[in-house]
Amino acid sequence: MKQPLLSVLMPVYNEKNTIRQIIEKVQQVSIDKEIIIVDDCSTDGTREILKQDYNQIKNIKLIFHESNSGKGKAIRSGLDFTRGEITIIQDGDLEYDPLDYPKLLQPILNNSLDVIYGSRFLNSENKHSYGRYYLGGRLVTWVTNILYGQKLTDEPTCYKVFRTELLKDLNLQCERFEFCPEATAKVAKRGIKIFEIPINYYPRKIEEGKKIRWTDGLEAIWTLLKFRFIN
């Protein structure tokens, strides 16, 4: 079986209102790709939609957790099945735009870079739904730069793009939202500079399904400290 250029790794949990739209948007991007969708034991009908509509699609691989384990665990489950040269993380909502894929991949393809992050803050036209999320993201990014010598503007971004070989070699341990700081910390500790590209961002509200909480920001900072000084 031919190796695709891109693996789109999509952890999902209770996204019945957006799952069809985001899959369609990903499929419309003109890049040779596979889509690895990991349903983290959704209870709202998402997994039934996936089984009914996407079980026989050639470039889609479906994985179903039997218990809700968290975004990090879902990413780790999906990573076992990725075959692409490059892997990008894609949420199951519509906050991020797959039309940004080409410009995120281009620096890796052209310059032999290993990691690209899509920055919401480098695009001045983007809006942010809640002040606490904005400030929390800024704080986590500042801590990252201090601890790991990076120059990031948006560490918690969903759009993280890796050479798949590198991502698999990080030996991730994450269970929930600490995927982001763990991956960042382990990449930085290898002496790799993380480059950023401006992306589009369309924030949703909590009542629309936004799941991250302020405690996840504290966990992110703890994870950054842990991998800097303990592991």
pLDDT of residue 109: 93
Whether pTM exceeds 0.85: yes
C-alpha distances in angstroms, 103 versus 1, 48, 100, 156? 27, 33, 6, 19
Name the one residue in this structure whose structure tokens are 């499929």. Answer: 27
Kindly give the confidence (pLDDT) of every residue in the chain, 231 residues in length, as a single tens digit, with 9 standing for 90 and above: 678 999 999 999 999 999 999 999 999 999 999 999 999 999 999 999 999 999 999 999 999 999 999 999 999 999 999 999 999 999 999 999 999 999 999 999 997 799 999 999 999 999 877 667 788 889 999 999 999 999 999 999 999 999 999 999 999 999 988 999 999 999 999 999 999 999 999 987 766 555 567 577 789 999 999 999 986
Please tell me the CATH code under which domain 6-229 is placed. 3.90.550.10
| CA 132 to chain centroid | 21
User: CA-to-CA distance for 75 and 9, rounded, in angstroms?
Assistant: 7
Q: Are 73 and 144 in contact (CB under 8 A)?
A: no
Q: Are 227 and 189 in contact (CB under 8 A)?
A: yes
pLDDT of residue 3: 87
Instruction: Write the single-letter amino acid at 85.
Output: E
pLDDT of residue 128: 79
Q: Are 120 and 199 in contact (CB under 8 A)?
A: yes
Pairing of strands 86-89, 160-163: antiparallel
pLDDT of residue 210: 58
Q: Are 88 and 6 in contact (CB under 8 A)?
A: yes
Instruction: Write the single-letter amino acid at 54.
Output: Y
